[in-house]
């Protein structure tokens, strides 16, 4: 989940919707560094995954990061699910969510972990507890061991002693700490020669690219077999919702079209069909019109307005008043204004009811508050009650990790355009076995599918080793039962085909 950029989960979650008091409460207390002992808990279970019965051990453990003088600085919690008997030739997949500030609860309890929380699959609110915690036959444990990572300030992970969270809160700082955890885990578990996969969701895809650079960008490589990107955000400059950036209107348009179709505001044979129509219009006539600025002719403007109305489901009058440039926030409020509803950002299938029907922007994101209660309850119940992990730390589902350092290593010109995609391009060129899996929801505005295609379709990316998969849901496509199963089958095939 990526927070705006709310700064962008995963959510791009709505961490920015937390009140100041909530943010203060989310900050874990800092234990003393002296004689720090790593916390852990472990249990063995049997489950059926991908049609196979698998006996596995679940281990929750703090990986302690130390300074150059050996002083404990931070404890990053990993939750590992390892098939028994242990086999070092089995793949191991490291997974995390995004935010920045999101724990791994979403991928762990929603998609790939051995248990999942059951919430409505049809874009309805999850309501109140109890929330069923079910066996998850879609878990990937039949084909890979799984290690979920909660970076500092998320989940149960925390700093130690006088260490400040800011030491770990930044694109590069965060990537270095996660890469260090992966190296330590490989050391402790004897898995250096196992096939390795890395996977993230939302800002977790940003993290994946940066971690790949930390793992493979040196001579003491941790070489990877594959990277799994779910709800991808790599090029922040392209999608930045800021004055003067015309590219965001282009990359968001196909998501507006699929959403308009879902809610009956336009017509097309399928989401795939309207998406392709919107892609071609966005990258062609619309892009040319935007680049011309005020030099576009009256006739061209009229033609663009008519086609935008068809694709977005918005009236030509509204589009004209918006100067034919509709931001996502305005779209959420305007599309279903005639029904007194807003649509979601993380998943635009969801609808919400604001205090009133006036204004430009929705009160909140119904696709986030529609799922958060169930996931939070399930994660705490599974970790504390079932696995027996004892801690005074609060589980931070979405917390305050800031200020976040968005600077990349490379100086002024690198940071003039915030884009981590080149890390993946370099890794693909220098590791002939590396492949990339990209999973995108049709109804995701937090990380639009066309923006992901644009980021990975530029020069320098071997296209024959990047595969795209699409799902009939939004940012967390696995909340829809059919798409959770499809996602699992797609990723399972990706891992097997190494």
What is the overall mean pLDDT for the chain? 91
The verdict on residue 412 lying in a domain is yes
Handedness of CA 355, 356, 361, 365 (dihedral sign): positive
356 and 378 in a common domain:
no
- When pLDDT is averaged across residues 80-96 and rounded to a whole number, the result is 97
Do 210 and 283 belong to one domain?
no
Question: For residue 221, is it within any domain?
Answer: yes
pLDDT band at 29 (very low <50, low <70, confident <90, very high): low
In a domain, 390, yes or no: yes
pLDDT at 163 (0 to 100): 95
DSSP 38-74: --EEEEEEEEEETTEEEEEEEEEEEEEEE-TTS-EEE
Q: What is the pLDDT of residues 372-396, one digit of tens each?
A: 788 999 999 999 999 999 999 999 9
The answer on 483 and 441 residing in a single domain is yes
pLDDT exceeding 90 applies to what percent of the chain?
Answer: 81
On whether both 277 and 377 belong to a single domain, the answer is no
Q: How far apart are CA 423 and CA 410, in angstroms?
A: 12
CATH number, domain at 224? 3.40.50.1820
- Where among 346, 368, 390 does a domain terminate? 368
Whether 399 and 302 share a structural domain: no
Predicted local confidence at residue 238, as pLDDT = 85
Measured between its terminal Cα atoms, the distance across the chain in Å is: 28
Residue 259 lies in a domain: yes
pLDDT at 416 over 60: yes
- 219 shares its domain with 83: yes
Would you state the pLDDT for residue 12? 41
- pLDDT, one tens digit per residue, over 190-214 is 999 999 999 999 999 999 999 999 9
Same domain, 351 and 382: no
Instruction: State whether 393 and 359 are in the same domain.
Output: no
Is residue 179 situated within a structural domain?
yes
As a whole number of angstroms, the distance between CA 260 and CA 490 comes to: 27
Asked if residue 340 and residue 472 are part of one domain, the reply reads no
Cα radius of gyration rounded to whole Å, the chain: 22
Examine the pLDDT at 20 and tell me if it is beyond 70.
no
Total number of domains in the chain: 2
Instruction: Let me know if residue 7 belongs to a domain.
Output: no
Q: What is the 3-state secondary structure (H, E, C) of 360-393?
A: CCCCCCHHHHCCHHHHHHHHHHHHHHHCCCCCCC
What phi and psi values does residue 330 have, to the nearest 5 degrees?
-70, -40
Contacts of 132 (CB under 8 A, 6+ apart): 117, 118
Q: Residue 254 domain-assigned? A: yes
Q: What is the mean pLDDT of residues 328-356?
A: 96
What predicted TM-score, i.e. pTM, was given to this entire model?
0.92
Residue 30 confidence (pLDDT): 53
3-state secondary structure of 103: coil
Exposed, middle or buried, 463 (CB in 10 Å: 0-12/13-18/19+)?
Answer: exposed
DSSP state of 407: P
Are residues 166 and 255 both part of a single domain?
Answer: no
Contact (CB, 8 A) for 213 and 175 = yes
Same domain assignment for residues 355 and 296: yes
**Which residue, of 350, 368, 386, is where some domain finishes?**
368
pLDDT digits (tens, 9 = 90+) for 392-410: 999 999 887 879 999 887 7
Residue 224 and residue 351 in one domain: no
| Residue where a domain stops, chosen among 302, 335, 368 | 368
Would you place residue 164 in the very low, low, confident or very high pLDDT band (cuts 50, 70, 90)? very high
Residue 244 lies in a domain: no
Alpha helices in 324-480 (DSSP H): 328-334, 366-369, 372-380, 412-415, 421-430, 449-456
Domain extent, residue 301, equals 249-368
């Amino acid at each position: 989940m990526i927070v705006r950029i709310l700064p962008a989960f995963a959510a791009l979650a709505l961490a920015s919707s937390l009140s100041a008091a909530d943010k203060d409460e989310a900050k874990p207390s800092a234990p003393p560094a002296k004689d720090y002992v790593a916390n852990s808990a472990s249990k063995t279970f049997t489950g059926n995954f991908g049609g196979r019965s698998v006996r596995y051990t679940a281990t929750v453990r703090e990986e302690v990061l130390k300074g150059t003088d050996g002083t404990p600085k931070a404890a990053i919690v990993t939750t590992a699910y390892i098939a028994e008997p242990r086999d070092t030739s089995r793949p191991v997949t490291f997974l995390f969510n995004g935010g920045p500030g999101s724990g791994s609860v979403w991928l762990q309890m929603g998609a790939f972990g051995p248990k999942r929380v059951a919430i409505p699959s049809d874009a309805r609110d999850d309501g109140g507890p109890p929330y069923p915690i079910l066996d998850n036959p879609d878990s990937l444990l039949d084909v890979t061991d799984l290690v979920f990572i909660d970076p500092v300030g998320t989940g149960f992970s925390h700093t130690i002693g006088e260490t400040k969270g800011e030491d770990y809160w930044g694109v590069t700082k965060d990537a270095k700490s996660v890469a260090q955890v992966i190296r330590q885990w490989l050391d402790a578990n004897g898995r250096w020669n196992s096939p390795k996969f890395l996977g993230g969701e939302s800002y977790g895809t940003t993290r994946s690219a940066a971690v790949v650079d930390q793992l493979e960008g040196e001579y003491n490589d941790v070489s990877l077999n594959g990277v799994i990107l779910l709800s991808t955000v790599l090029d922040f400059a392209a999608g930045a919702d800021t004055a003067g950036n015309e590219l965001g209107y282009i990359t968001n348009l196909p998501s507006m079209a699929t959403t308009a179709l879902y809610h009956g505001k336009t017509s097309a044979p399928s989401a795939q069909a309207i998406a392709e129509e919107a892609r071609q219009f966005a990258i062609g006539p619309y892009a040319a019109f935007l680049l011309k600025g005020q030099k576009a002719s009256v006739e061209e403007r009229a033609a663009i307005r008519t086609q935008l109305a068809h694709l977005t489901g918005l009236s030509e009058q509204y589009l004209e008043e918006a100067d034919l440039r509709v931001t996502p926030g305005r779209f959420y409020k305007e599309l279903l204004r005639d029904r007194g509803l807003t649509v979601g950002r993380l998943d635009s299938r969801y609808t919400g009811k604001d205090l009133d029907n006036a204004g430009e922007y929705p009160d909140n994101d119904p696709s986030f508050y529609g799922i958060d209660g169930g996931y939070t309850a399930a994660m705490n119940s599974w970790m504390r009650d079932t696995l027996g992990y004892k801690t005074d730390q609060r589980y931070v589902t979405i917390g305050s990790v800031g200020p976040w350092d968005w600077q990349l290593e490379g100086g002024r010109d690198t940071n003039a355009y915030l884009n981590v995609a080149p890390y993946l391009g370099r890794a693909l060129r220098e590791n002939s076995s590396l492949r990339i899996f990209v999973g995108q929801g049709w109804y995701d505005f937090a990380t639009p599918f066309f923006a992901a295609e644009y980021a990975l379709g530029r020069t320098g990316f071997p296209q024959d080793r990047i595969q795209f998969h699409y799902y009939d849901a939004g940012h967390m496509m696995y909340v829809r039962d059919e798409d959770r199963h499809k996602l699992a089958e797609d990723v399972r095939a990706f891992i097997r085909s190494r």
